[in-house]
Amino acid sequence: MINSSLKTLSQMLAKKEISSVEMTQTFLNRIHQFNPTINAYIALDEAKTLAQAKAADARIAAGNAEPLTGIPFAQKDIFCAKGWRTTCGSKMLENFIAPYDAHVISQFDNAGAVNLGKTNMDEFAMGSSNETSYFGGVKNPWNFDRVPGGSSGGSAAAVAARLCAAATGTDTGGSIRQPASLCGFTGLKPTYGLVSRYGMIAFASSLDQAGPMAKSAEDCAMMLNVMAGFDERDSTSLNHPKEDYTRGLAGMSGDKPLKGLKIGLPKEYFADGLDAGVAKVVQDAIVEYRKLGAETVEISLPNTKLSIPVYYVLAPAEASSNLSRYDGVRYGHRAAEYTDLTDMYCKSRAEGFGAEVKRRILIGTYVLSAGYYDAYYLKAQQIRHLIADDFKQAFKECDIIMGPTAPSTAFRAGEKADDPVAMYLQDVYTIATNLAGLPGMSIPAGFDKGLPVGLQLMGNYFDEARMLDVAHAYQQVTDWHLQMPDLKAPEGLK
Amino acid sequence: MALNITDIKRIAHLARLEINEQEAAATLTKLSGILGLIEQMQAIDTTGITPMSHSQDVVQRLREDVVTETNQREAFQKIAPVLGNGSAKQAVDGGLYLVPQVIE
What Å distances lie between residue A295 and A217, A399, A487, CA to CA?
21, 10, 39
Q: What is the pLDDT of residue A407?
A: 96
Reduce the DSSP state of residue A397 to 3 states and report it. Answer: coil
A vs B: CB pairs below 8 A: 182
Q: What percent of chain A has pLDDT over 70?
A: 99
Helix (H) or strand (E) holding A58: helix A46-61
Q: Is B14's Cβ below 8 Å from some Cβ in A? A: yes
What Å distances lie between residue A251 and A67, A115, A215, A224, A474, CA to CA?
20, 32, 20, 19, 13
Question: Sign of dihedral through CA atoms B41, B47, B51, B52?
Answer: negative
Among A237, A190, A2, A23, CA closest to A112: A23
Distance CA A403, CA A297 (A): 12
Residue range A121-149: mean pLDDT, rounded: 97
Q: Is A447's Cβ below 8 Å from some Cβ in B? A: no
Distance CA A385, CA A394 (A): 14
Interface test with A, best of B9, B30, B61 (most A CBs within 10 A): B30
Distance CA A242, CA A222 (A): 13
Q: How far apart are the first and last CA of chain B?
A: 41
Which of A240-244, A343-347, A419-423, B24-28 shows the lowest mean pLDDT across its residues? Answer: A419-423
Which chain B residues contact residue A388 at CB under 8 A? 52, 55
Reduce the DSSP state of residue B74 to 3 states and report it. Answer: helix
Q: Residue A493 pLDDT more than 70?
A: no
Q: Is A33's Cβ below 8 Å from some Cβ in B? A: no
Residue range A125-143: mean pLDDT, rounded: 97
Residue range A346-359: mean pLDDT, rounded: 98
- Going from the N-terminus, what domains does chain B have, and what CATH number goes with each? 5-43 (1.10.20), 73-104 (no CATH)
Which of A154-158, A175-179, A250-254, A395-399 shows the lowest mean pLDDT across its residues? Answer: A250-254
Sheet strands side by side (includes A114-119) = A41-43, A114-119, A72-76, A166-171, A209-214, A186-189, A440-448, A451-458, A400-404, A262-266, A295-299
Which chain B residues contact residue A330 at CB under 8 A? 76, 80-81, 97
Of A306, A320, A338, the CB nearest to B40: A306
Which chain A residues contact residue B44 at CB under 8 A? 303, 306, 383, 386
Q: How far apart are the first and last CA of chain A?
A: 21
Per-residue pLDDT reduced to its tens digit, B36-46? 999 999 999 99
Residue range A141-170: mean pLDDT, rounded: 98
Q: Which residues pair with B92 in a beta bridge?
A: B97
Per-residue pLDDT reduced to its tens digit, A175-218? 999 999 999 999 999 999 999 999 999 999 999 999 999 999 99
Residue range B85-94: mean pLDDT, rounded: 95
Q: Is B89's Cβ below 8 Å from some Cβ in A? A: no
Q: Is A450's Cβ below 8 Å from some Cβ in B? A: no
Per-residue pLDDT reduced to its tens digit, A23-55? 999 999 999 999 999 999 999 999 999 999 999
Q: What is the pLDDT of residue A492?
A: 44
Task: Tell me which chain A residue has its CA closest to the CA of residue B87.
Answer: A336
Q: What is the pLDDT of residue B1?
A: 59
A151 is catalytic: yes
CATH class entry, domain A6-259: alpha beta
Per-residue pLDDT reduced to its tens digit, A265-290? 999 999 989 999 999 999 999 999 99
Task: Tell me which chain A residue has its CA closest to the CA of residue B39.
Answer: A309
Q: What is the pLDDT of residue B63?
A: 87
What Å distances lie between residue A431 and A189, A242, A331, CA to CA?
11, 27, 32
pLDDT band at B57 (very low <50, low <70, confident <90, very high): confident
Whether residues B17 and A361 touch (CB distance < 8 A) is answered with yes
Q: Residue A350 pLDDT more than 80?
A: yes
Q: Residue A491 pLDDT more than 70?
A: no
Q: Is A330's Cβ below 8 Å from some Cβ in B? A: yes
Reduce the DSSP state of residue A456 to 3 states and report it. Answer: strand
Residue type, A184: G
Q: Residue B18 pLDDT more than 90?
A: yes
Q: Is the peptide bond before B55 cis (omega within 30 degrees of 0)?
A: no
Q: Residue A300 pLDDT more than 60?
A: yes
Per-residue pLDDT reduced to its tens digit, A461-489? 999 999 999 999 999 999 999 999 999 74
Distance CA A263, CA A400 (A): 5
Interface test with B, best of A322, A341, A365 (most B CBs within 10 A): A365
3-state secondary structure A140-151: ECCECCECCCCC
Q: What is the pLDDT of residue B56?
A: 80
Whether residues B34 and A437 touch (CB distance < 8 A) is answered with no
Q: Residue B82 pLDDT more than 60?
A: yes
Q: What percent of chain A has pLDDT over 90?
A: 95
Which chain B residues contact residue A369 at CB under 8 A? 11, 14
ipTM (interface pTM): 0.95
Q: Is A366's Cβ below 8 Å from some Cβ in B? A: yes
DSSP A185-247: -EEEEPPTTSS--TTBPPSSTTT-EEEEEESSHHHHHHHHHHH-S--TTSTT---PPP--TTT
Per-residue pLDDT reduced to its tens digit, A220-239? 999 999 999 999 999 999 99
Which chain B residues contact residue A383 at CB under 8 A? 41, 44, 46, 49
A76 is catalytic: yes
Among A259, A299, A255, CA closest to A402: A299
Whether residues B41 and A324 touch (CB distance < 8 A) is answered with no
Domain boundaries, chain A: 6-259
Q: Which residues pair with A114 in a beta bridge?
A: A72
pTM: 0.96
Q: What is the pLDDT of residue A490?
A: 44
Q: What is the pLDDT of residue A422?
A: 87
Q: Is B66's Cβ below 8 Å from some Cβ in A? A: no
What Å distances lie between residue A39 and A140, A158, A310, CA to CA?
10, 9, 33
Q: Is A43's Cβ below 8 Å from some Cβ in B? A: no
